[in-house]
Amino acid sequence: MDIIFSFLPLLLAIAGIVTLITLSVIDFRTWILPDWLNATLAALGIAFHLSTGFIFFTPAELIYGALIGSGILYIVRFFGNRHYKQETLGLGDVKLLAAGGLWLGMEGVIMAMTVGAFAGLIHGVIVAVVRAIRDKTRPNLHRLMIPAGPGFCFGILIACLWQYLEYFME
């Protein structure tokens, strides 16, 4: 029975990775991050920390991570929607960063947002260049729309690797 519990954090981490990949694929195809998958990611994060005995973060630090992740993204969404007078970031992205905060805590979720935003920027530039080549025009980043979820999923994955890889290597 002890062997099962020793592998439980690894199994939960693998389930988290699968969930992040699933969220990314769905967002690429439909521009939607399903609530049930965001909730699954959140539950897996809580279960991961329970299975490790909260050796990385206290429950309060995880809640703060969820609040910071979702709060910052909600503020960005609010001002983006107000400025552009259209939906600029979905609530699914806000919920995704809340779930990410339950895995990563405060510092990690900020890292995930930063890496995710940069990944989104690179993705957007690539999309603009590919469209320009296809249409034989100049790249246009003005109001370029791409799903944000895959970038944030990538950021969460990178932050998780940064925080937990050494634990799994032992």
String of DSSP letters for 107-131: HHHHHHHHHHHHHHHHHHHHHHHHH
Number of H helices, E strands in the chain: 5, 0
Contacts of 150 (CB under 8 A, 6+ apart): 23, 24, 27, 28, 119, 120, 123
Q: How far is CA 158 from CA 62, 116, 145, 153, in A?
A: 18, 9, 24, 9
3 state SS of 138 = coil
C-alpha span between 112 and 154 (Å, rounded)? 8
* Long-range contacts formed by 14-22: CB under 8 A, 24+ apart: 15/44, 16/41, 16/44, 16/45, 16/48, 16/103, 16/160, 17/157, 19/44, 20/153, 20/156, 20/157, 21/153
pLDDT band for position 140 (cuts 50, 70, 90): confident
Instruction: Please state the domain extents for the chain.
Output: 2-169
What is the end-to-end Cα distance of the chain in Å, rounded? 20
Model pLDDT, residue 1 = 52
Model pLDDT, residue 142 = 80
18-37 per-position pLDDT tens digit: 999 999 999 999 999 999 99
Model pLDDT, residue 4 = 62
50-63 per-position pLDDT tens digit: 999 999 999 999 99
Burial bucket for residue 47 (CB in 10 Å: 0-12, 13-18, 19+):
middle
